[in-house]
Amino acid sequence: MTQQQMAAAASPGPCLVLGGKTGMLGQALMTALAKAGHTAVAQGREDVDLTSRDALTAYLEAVKPGVVFNAVAYTQVDKAEDEPDDAARLNKTLPENLARLSAAMGFKLVHFSTDFVFDGKGQEPYEVDDPTGPLSVYGRTKLAGEQAIRSVNPPGWIICRTAWLFGPGRKNFITTILNLCRSRDTVNVVDDQIGSPTYTVDLALHAVQLLDAGASGLFHVVNAGEASWCELATEAVRLTGLPCKISPIPTSGYPTKAARPAWSVLSTAAFTAATGVTPRPWAKALRDYIFKDLQDFLEPQASRN
């Protein structure tokens, strides 16, 4: 090994967060990495066209990352049904290109996937090796991205499947519900889809813990417990004290272009085995989100009563 190679091994490049400037998860990752003592670089849309392999290669050669966190995805689930090629470019081709560049350039790849890779017919929390069966273009393209990474098999890859994200920095299900409740007495919310609500702050922390533990492979990373969309909305409204009733409706009462899994609760057993960490319940995470991150939203409520 040359002196230059020895120096590079002793001082690996920074952690690069794709989507780190404006993405909900990307911003949380930047904060978590800083708290853990990592040097991190945030990528934004103006920095590089991620759909161009040549542009991506040149960008990575310039940044020289030691780790790349891919927090970029095509997440418009219903729109993906009409734009399958666009969804595939970000959800399948980008992670495949990152995996090949990881193998060639030596950085570690941490990629994020989704509970939508499952068909929702289970009754117990899904383990990482349970059979998949996506119901939508979004789910199929995300699964294809997972499979591409595993096929290339770059050294030390990590895939974190997660679900039902809420957190600071971007509009999400919780902010949508609370904004509706500011102007309505009743809001209808689906009650027959059950999943794993996840706070992006906790997800980012756990992803960094996997990295620092030297883990590799496929993991489910979500907050503990399960809820329906209706239960999640009800708890958020209860915590804020908004005078709004959340009424349960079936999926058939809120039709969407893309099918959603009815049951997509994820088991974090593999994550805990790798890190020794047990994620906290989603209800505790939601409380932190509302009282720490939504202060500006909550303060005006006094004038409404």
Indicate which residues carry an active-site annotation: 138
Element (H or E) spanning 187, and its range? strand 186-190
Partners of 165 in the β-ladder: 198
3 state SS for 102-125 = HHHHCCEEEEEEEHHHCCCCCCCC
In this structure, are residues 87 and 80 in contact, taking their beta carbons and an 8 Å threshold? Answer: yes
Closest CA to 232 of 292, 283, 298: 283
Closest CA to 114 of 252, 192, 250, 222: 222
Copy the structure tokens of residue 182.
């500011």
Cβ burial 63-101 (10 Å sphere, 16+ → b, else e): bebbbbbbbbbbbebeebbeeeebbbbbbbbbbbbbbbb
3-state secondary structure of 294: coil
Partners of 12 in the β-ladder: none
How far CA 117 is from CA of 142, 144, 249, 264, 279, in Å, comes to 7, 9, 24, 9, 21
